[in-house]
Amino acid sequence: MLAKAHSLFSYLRSKIKLSLPLLIYWAILLVLLWIFIEFAGEVYEKEGFWFDEPILGWLHRQQSPGLTRAALTITQLGSGWFLAAASLCLLIYFWIRSRWRDLLFYALAFGGTVLLNLSIKQVLGRIRPDFFPQLSTETSYSFPSGHTMASAGFLLSLFFLIRKYKPNYQILASLLGILLGLAIGLSRNYLQVHFPSDVLAGWSLTFAWILGLNLWYSRNKVDEND
C-alpha cells in the first residue's frame, strides 16, 4: 500500500511539476481557506462556538487599568487610520522607485484584505459579543475582525517584501510580525469587541489570500532598481 501511494505521489509530482515544498505550501493555503469557510458557515447559520464565551470570560477577569490602557494602545496599531497612513507611505515609495510589481502586490494584498473584510461583514452581519461590557466603542459588524485582518495583511505583505529584498532579516521580521499580530488580535478579545472566532477566522482568510498572491509575486525577480 505504501509503495503504491509513493508511486502515485511521484507520478503526480512528475505530471504537474510540483516540488514537495510547493505541495506543502498549497496544503497550508487550502487548510487555512477551509478553516475560514467552516467558521463562516457556522456564523451564516447563526451558530456559536463553544470556546468564545469561556475565553472572553477569562479575559474579562484579567482586566485591570494598566492592561486596558495597553490593549487600547496596541489595538490602534490595527486601526484603519494607522494602517492606511503606513500603506500610503509604502505605495509612494514603490512609485518613486518604479517598483511596479511590489506596488501591485501590496495593493492587491492589503487592499484585497480590506475589501474582503468589509464585504463579508455586510453579508454575514454578525453582532458584536455582549457577554461582558465592551471597553471600546464599535458599531460595525463583528465577523471577521477588521483590525485583525488589516494588521495581518499589512504584516504578512511586509514580510514577503522583506524576504525578497532583505532575506537576512526575514527571521527577525517574522518573529516581530507574529508577536505584533497576536497582540493586536488578543487586544480585540480583551476589549470585548470581538469573539475569538472572529479573530481566528480573520487570520485564516488573510493568510490564505496573501499566500495565494505570493505564488505569483515570489516568481518575479528582484526589480533592477534595487
Separation of alpha carbons 70 and 63, rounded Å: 11
Q: Which residue has the cell 526575514?
A: 170
Spatial distance between the Cα atoms of 15 and 10, rounded to a whole number of angstroms: 9
Q: How far apart are CA 52 and CA 26, in angstroms?
A: 29
- Nearest CA-CA partner of 187 in 145, 133, 143, 155: 145
Spatial CB neighbours of 17, under 8 Å, sequence gap ≥ 6: none
Q: Is 60 tagged catalytic?
A: no
Which amino acid is residue 125, in one-letter code? G
What letter would DSSP give residue 127?
A: P
Instruction: Round to whole Å and give the CA distance between 191 and 208.
Output: 26
Catalytic pick among 194, 198, 199, 210:
194
Catalytic residue among 99, 121, 126, 147: 147
Contact in structure between 83 and 148 (CB atoms under 8 Å): no
Give the Cα separation of 214 and 109 in Å (integer): 9
Which residue in 84, 85, 88, 67 sits closest to 189, CA to CA? 67
Report DSSP state, residue 78.
T
Active site residues: 147, 194
